[in-house]
Structure 1
């Protein structure tokens, strides 16, 4: 099941995608991003069914990664022509398909809970903290 589509990318880019080569390329990138997501979250469909994340969140995250790639496919970081210069942040200039930490957080909203979470009302067994004499 694919979550994002060509229309999602075109809407976020703010322009139509009509060139056949670009259509193939964007569809391939969508598939690649979804493969990246599934490599880290193999049970994605089950997680969506149980919620969160939702299908809309997965589509948004996938589309945002593809849009980043479409806006800078070669990974150019700076451009200078005479006295004009344009620069991109390190992430924007990566030129590859990736998800940001905040996007992974949207896909795995409870992944950080557990090891460092607090449990109200939890009282440790203080006898276990001190060695017996």
Structure 2
């Protein structure tokens, strides 16, 4: 059971869902939550303890699905004269995306988090060129 439901998607679209859209929304909501749980396996605990507000999870899941339903073909542009169109590359990859801003709202750093690079330098033990006269 996902946090969001098709009615949450309908509210964000501002129109009723057709029966096929409602079925698709239910499936895509499950996919959106699976994506979230891949990064946050303890999602339920975070929601229960209030670390993440339930409404934030609902919003992120429903918005991800609403983006797909608003533009199921993934078009980024379309021209009427001598008809042409451009498809967003993300559409070929499933188009169900969660933007970086939403990941941050969930407490996930989409950039992978802070890290430190420590150089590993091995100095010779002898001779030490900086100790002049010891050769």
TM-score by length of 2: 0.70
Report what 2:23 is aligned to: 24
Report what 2:73 is aligned to: 74
How far 1:82 sits from its partner (Å)? 2.8
CA distance in 1, matches of 2:104, 2:95: 20
Unaligned stretches of 5+ in structure 2?
Answer: 117-135
Report what 2:64 is aligned to: 65
Q: Conserved in 1, the CA contact under 8 Å of 2:3 and 2:54?
A: yes
The alignment covers a number of residue pairs equal to 115
Deviates more, 1:106-115 or 1:45-54: 106-115
CA distance in 2, matches of 1:41, 1:109: 8
CA distance in 2, matches of 1:32, 1:2: 9
Residue aligned with 1:31, SS: helix
CA distance in 1, matches of 2:99, 2:43: 18
Q: For each residue in 1:3-44, what CA deviation from the matched residue of structure 2 results, as whole angstroms up to 9, or x when unmatched? A: 101111111101001x32221111111111011111111110
Report what 1:106 is aligned to: 105
How far 1:78 sits from its partner (Å)? 1.0
How far 1:86 sits from its partner (Å)? 9.1
Residue aligned with 1:77, SS: strand
Q: Conserved in 2, the CA contact under 8 Å of 1:69 and 1:95?
A: no
Q: Who wins on radius of gyration, i.e. which is larger?
A: 2
TM-score by length of 1: 0.70
Q: Conserved in 2, the CA contact under 8 Å of 1:30 and 1:62?
A: yes
Q: Which consecutive segments of 4 or more residues in structure 1 shift more than 2 A?
A: 85-95, 109-116
CA distance in 2, matches of 1:26, 1:10: 9
Residue aligned with 1:82, SS: coil
